[in-house]
Amino acid sequence: MNTIENIKTQSTNNLTAIAEQFTFQGKVKSIQAFGSGNINDTFLVTLDSSQEQHFILQRINTQVFRQPHSIMQNMCTFTGHARKRLQQNPLNRRWEIPRVLFTKDAQDHWIDADGAFWRAISFIEGSQSFDTIRDRSQAGEVGYALGMFHNLIGDLPPEKLADTLEGFHITPRYLQNYNEVLAKTSVQKTPEVNYCLQFVSDRQIFASILEDAKATGKLPLRLMHGDPKINNVLFDAITHQAVSVIDLDTVKPGLVHYDIGDCLRSGCNPVGEETEDWESVGFDTDICQGILQGYLSVAKAFLTENDYAYMYDAIRLIAFELGLRFFADHLAGNVYFKVKHPEHNLYRALVQFALTKSIESQESAIRAIIQDVK
């Protein structure tokens, strides 16, 4: 099982030796586990240095990202491009692009004695991330952050970036994988499992809505972030403005709708995706309006009529898709997402399905918001 305990096996000595590969000035003072990601392992390295005092060290989960070199390639291409854009046209507010840090022998990664793949990125000082949105103004900032990200990547041709995670957000592929898992697993039919089985079965046809729109040319292939859940947006600790979008492993060709859906499904769930009280889960339309207003303050310029037409479906689909991914992983024995206990992915699935239901029950209100803000 992919438990947090068996992932965090790295001894402090080993971690220090790995961090030192990326350290040019000062000594490594401390290393602490950081963040709450479901895939990679993240550490904050503190240096005894008068210059940069921190950096982020990450072990890439190579069971998920099979070609970690192409992730680093994409990250260097995107960050270089965005930095150039900002130098040419500076913004009138703080905005940071994380820098890839290199090793002493000029590599963008380090492979340790056990074959694990490590990389380092600059730390955005004076910033913080949140698992839930606390008010309308923060919602606007989250939307602005996604819009700024799409704006900065929008003039990079999609073919400049590699596909770092084949099948990511292709909902019919997740459905196919789910059906394969079901066929080879003897499922213990608890009431919760039965509920999930029925929930997925009722939405089989809907699953292909964005892929069909892509295939028929209604939605163009663009570059996307892939994982803009709200804790991947950093806020200035003093001004509370959004200052960066991080977690760039899934920046690759795709649909901006995957990002819009993911940002809204994570931002508009005030109890957060890790709650075990799935009956309290609901989609907050006020936050939705705030996020969309912030997003469109930057993104209006590059969105088409069709883009707006598929926004509601994107919100519904990405919540459903994540529930399906969690549920399939539960059935498969927790092989993809890190878990804290054996039922963790089942609970997460129930949360996303409750959110999907809440989205479906507010379809007209959400469609009206999209019309209103566009």
Among the listed residues 2, 10, 38, 334, the single contact to ligand GN1 using CB under 6 A = 38
Interface with ligand ADP includes 123 (CB under 6 A)? yes
Contact at 8 Å (CB) between 51 and 26? Answer: yes
* Residue among 148, 82, 78 at smallest CA distance from 299: 148
Interface with ligand GN1 includes 260 (CB under 6 A)? no
CB closer to ligand ADP, 100 vs 156:
100
Interface with ligand GN1 includes 37 (CB under 6 A)? yes
Q: Which two tokens stand for residue 127?
A: 């910033």
Q: Closest approach of Cβ 243 to Mg ion, in Å?
A: 16
* Residue among 43, 60, 31, 263 at smallest CA distance from 148: 263
242-245/233-236 β-pairing: antiparallel
Position closest to ligand GN1 via CB: 38
Residue 177 interacts with, from ligand GN1, Mg ion, ligand ADP, none (CB under 5-8 Å by kind): none
- Rounded to whole angstroms, the Cα distance separating 322 from 11 reads 33
Contact at 8 Å (CB) between 54 and 47? Answer: yes
Q: Closest approach of Cβ 155 to ligand ADP, in Å?
A: 24
Residue type, 126: G
Q: Closest approach of Cβ 168 to ligand ADP, in Å?
A: 14
Length of the chain: 374
By CB under 6 A, the residues from 44 to 73 that bind ligand ADP are 56
- Rounded to whole angstroms, the Cα distance separating 67 from 342 reads 28
How many CB atoms lie under 10 A from the CB of residue 279? Answer: 10
Q: Which two tokens stand for residue 65?
A: 């990202």
Stretch that binds ligand GN1, among 36-44, 74-82, 104-112, 205-213 (CB under 6 A): 36-44
Interface with ligand GN1 includes 350 (CB under 6 A)? no
User: Which stretches of the chain bind ligand GN1, using CB under 6 A?
Assistant: 37-39, 64, 227, 229, 247, 250, 262, 273, 322
Q: Which residues bind ligand ADP (CB under 6 A)?
A: 34-35, 37, 39-40, 42, 56, 98, 121-124, 127, 129, 231-232, 234, 246-247
